[in-house]
Amino acid sequence: MARAFLFVLDSFGIGGAGDAARFGDEGSNTFGHIAQACALGRADREGLRAGRLRVPNMLSLGLGRAAETASGFLADHGAAVLLPSAFHGAAEEISSGKDTPSGHWEIAAVPVPFDWGYFPQTLPTFPPDLIAALVERAALPGILGDCHASGTEIIERLGEEHIRTGKPICYTSADSVFQIAAHETHFGLERLYELCLIARELLDPLNIGRVIARPFVGEVPADFQRTANRRDFAVPPPEPTLLDRLTARGSRVIGMGKIGDIFAHHGVSEVRKAAGNMPLFDETLQAMDDARDGDLVFANFVDFDTLYGHRRDIAGYAAALEAFDTRLPEALARLKPGDLLLLTADHGCDPSWRGSDHTRERVPIMGIATGLPGGDVGLRKTFADIGETVAQHLGLAPGRHGKSFLPEIANHA
């Protein structure tokens, strides 16, 4: 039996979703537009980065070919030589959302068969009876926000009033989410978590996917900063995922970053966290060292989405991709005979796009199946093919959704 390592570059879409127009996202392409901006010198920032996008290690795993499969975008990969046993392709999402739980659950071989609840684009945004119940049950003096907003912008705008009044900041986005920002010390971290649990219970009848605790520190707007103590309170997946199937068998699933929260801690044996992509990469390398036969290390690298995609920071996103790419050889060096390393994404968040929300895109499939020929796995009809590939690799029986592409990379001529 071998091991599997599944890395999700949160929001690193590669364009081309067939139903993007339904979401207002036709033409969005996170990777393509970042690469084009870099090539045109529009993603240069003194002291951060300059010039063309430099991700040679992901290109050697087939990123350029995956992008061409997804959207026809021709990345600058002409000189990229694929590593032995590398495979590449793209996947389409069949779940109805473009949110984090839908993407991750479908990656774990359970598409979302229902529509989430969403909040309207009104002011105020939330139902008055919901807020009244939240205020009463949590003994709050009231709330601030009550709108659609960017998390960093609303903390900068309302953070001082929150500290002065003790009213938490409540807001949402285009996703099925209710977010609560509060100061770690003035309001209290544990109190924030308790408030989110109350909100979670109140929001269940509305089918809201996640309640997110957004703690921050600082005393004035210029110093306000969200911390790594974010916590997602998600509804559980509608049926057993790849993670549940593995833990039921006795294998370990080591969830890196927010993986545990995304799956409501179902099927996750152990949670390891760190603040920032690079510290989390360090922790993930340690988890790779600790993994035993039959185990899955499942990592979410969230900075691409939260720090750069939502903030529409092309230069920052490009620099983060380049920093991640420089670390990939360390992960590749830890692979043993029979191991599988697979890189993908859960949705897009094109930093060149209008607004600040996720974008409906196909996602890359790229990685290494040691000892196998590798090759092109084409365009997959569902993210669930990713989960079923990992399942077959780890010796599980096929699930209800998706189809493993392991035979294709095992028999590629």
Whole-number pLDDT of residue 217: 96
Task: Report the C-alpha gap between 13 and 20 in whole angstroms.
Answer: 12
pTM: 0.91
CA-CA distance, 132 to 329, in Å (whole number)? 53
Return the percentage of the chain with pLDDT > 70, whole number. 99
The β-bridge partners of 379 are 90
Q: Kindly state the average pLDDT of the residues 124-152.
A: 95
The pLDDT confidence band at residue 61, using thresholds 50, 70 and 90, is: very high
Query: How does residue 275 score in pLDDT terms, banded at 50, 70 and 90?
Result: confident
Q: How far apart are CA 99 and CA 35, in angstroms?
A: 24
Contacts of 287 (CB under 8 A, 6+ apart): 254, 256, 272, 297, 299
Residue 50: predicted pLDDT: 94
Mean of the per-residue pLDDT values for the chain?
Answer: 95
**Distance between CA atoms of residues 41 and 48, nearest Å:** 13
Residue 220 — φ and ψ, nearest 5°? -135, 160
Coarse DSSP helix, strand, coil percentages of the chain, rounded to the nearest 5 percent? 35, 20, 45
Using 50, 70 and 90 to split pLDDT, how confident is the model at 243? very high
Q: Is pLDDT at 266 greater than 80 in this prediction? A: yes
pLDDT for 79 equals 63
**Surface-to-core class of residue 326, CB atoms within 10 Å of its CB (0-12 exposed, 13-18 middle, 19+ buried):** middle
Closest C-alpha among 407, 408, 388 to residue 398: 388
Q: What is the per-residue pLDDT across 158-195, written as a single tens digit (0 to 9) for each?
A: 999 999 999 999 999 878 999 999 999 999 999 999 99
Checking if the pLDDT of 1 tops 80, the result is: no
Percentage of the chain lying above the pLDDT 90 cut? 90
Task: State how far the Cα of 127 lies from the Cα of 292, in Å rounded to an integer.
Answer: 48
User: In this model, does residue 304 exceed pLDDT 90?
Assistant: yes
pLDDT tens per residue, range 348-400: 999 999 988 899 999 999 999 999 999 999 999 999 999 999 999 999 999 99
Torsion of CA 285, 286, 292, 295, to 10 degrees: -60
- pLDDT tens for residues 206-232? 999 999 999 999 999 999 999 989 999
Residue 74: the pLDDT is 86
State the Cα–Cα distance between residues 10 and 16, nearest whole angstrom: 17
Residue 77 has pLDDT above 60, yes or no: no
CA-CA distance, 136 to 318, in Å (whole number)?
A: 45
Mean pLDDT of 293-301: 98
SS3 35: helix
Q: What is the pLDDT, as a whole number, of residue 64?
A: 95
Torsion over CA: 180, 183, 189, 190 (sign)? negative
| Residue 294: pLDDT over 60 | yes
Crossing angle (nearest 10°) for helices 128-137 and 189-203: 140
Whole-angstrom Cα distance, residue 178 to residue 206?
A: 11
